[in-house]
Amino acid sequence: MIRYYASTNGQLGRVEEAAPDAWIHLYPPFSSEELPEIAERYELPIDFLTDPLDIDERSRYEREDDARLIVINTPVLSQVETENDSIYITVPIGIILTPEAFITISSTPDHPVLQLFIDNKVRNVDPARRSHFVLRIFEHTVYRFLTCLKRLNVKRNLIEQELYDSSRNRELKQLLSIEKSLVYFINALNGNELLKMKMKRADFLGIRHDEEQWDLFEDIIIDNGQALEMANIYTNILNGTMDAYGSIISNNLNITIQRLTLITIVLTVPMVIASFYGMNVPMPLQNGSYTFVLILILSIILSAAVIFYFRRKRLF
């Protein structure tokens, strides 16, 4: 699909065809002619349009004649709803700058970052100010990471509360899903940070002499570093939590097995006495009127003695 947007009075609105200062947004499904047509119209290598559609594409920038490509990874909710898969994954956004157009492309329809601009939830953006528009996309990509990290941390805290009263594997599997999401985030944030540092050093956007945009770019790099630090901290906490609760569950299992073993020993004492009197050989008091009662009392006394011994040893 191809959508065109232009800015009017500081607000983006959809237009029917491309204008010199319009924003061209591409997202699936694509017809077989759409991408080659865009590449031919704006003299782009077809790789500029196909590479960002690969969800494993790394963050990078590239220049080909007058066309510039920026690929940055962003977090989105995973479409796989099984408990063993990650909650969030990262997918790339392709940003293409040419003398005639500002183009974005993503493999995810309704991408949460780009949708903010489409829904006019980001003010004072204008595709005609291309470098500024790129920086605002970078800025809200970092905000998206921070928001997702906070949600994952809240979910982790809730699962920990459930683990206090549970020894099931379900909660540990949910923690594993959070850990997978954090791994995706750390890899993406590392790549994004390296990309932004290289772009700043090479002045890829040509904003070195614009103090406002240069300061905004520096703030974005700082925020990206903070998001990366948060992701690392949450990962370390989560790893410690999973190890601790794995040990707790294993210890609880050992205690349960120990108690069952002690109960078996206590019940074995009367069984041993009863087995002696169940043999087909002469036994003392076997013809007495109170033999059964004496055997029962003896069994109870010996079992109580075993229980008392185990309690003295703090095994019960």
**What letter represents residue 219's amino acid?**
D
- pLDDT confidence of residue 82: 65
Whether residue 197 is predicted with pLDDT greater than 80 in this model: the reply is yes
274-314 confidence digits (pLDDT tens): 777 666 666 666 666 677 777 788 888 888 888 888 788 77
- Percentages of the chain per state (helix, strand, coil), in multiples of 5: 55, 15, 30
Report the Cα 153 to chain-centroid distance in Å: 10
Q: Once rounded to an integer, what is the mean pLDDT over residues 203-211?
A: 90
User: Which carries the bigger pLDDT value, residue 138 or residue 6?
Assistant: 138
- pLDDT confidence of residue 286: 64
Share the mean pLDDT of the chain: 85
Whether residue 109 is predicted with pLDDT greater than 90 in this model: the reply is no
- pLDDT confidence of residue 16: 80
Q: Once rounded to an integer, what is the mean pLDDT over residues 52-77?
A: 91
**61 CB-contact burial (10 Å; exposed 0-12 / middle 13-18 / buried 19+):** middle
Do residues 253 and 172 touch, judged by C-beta distance below 8 A?
no
Q: Once rounded to an integer, what is the mean pLDDT over residues 43-64?
A: 90
- pLDDT confidence of residue 177: 87
Whether residue 162 is predicted with pLDDT greater than 80 in this model: the reply is no
24-43 confidence digits (pLDDT tens): 899 888 887 888 888 888 88
**What's the CA gap between 28 and 51, in Å, rounded?**
14
236-278 confidence digits (pLDDT tens): 988 887 777 777 777 777 888 888 888 888 888 788 777 776 6
- pLDDT confidence of residue 62: 92
Q: Give the CA angle between residues 38, 118, 49 to the nearest 5°.
A: 25
- Calculate what percentage of the chain has a pLDDT beyond 70: 92
* Cα-based distances in Å from 121 to 12, 89, 117, 125, 131: 10, 23, 6, 10, 19
pLDDT bucket at 8, cuts 50 / 70 / 90? confident
pLDDT bucket at 106, cuts 50 / 70 / 90? very high
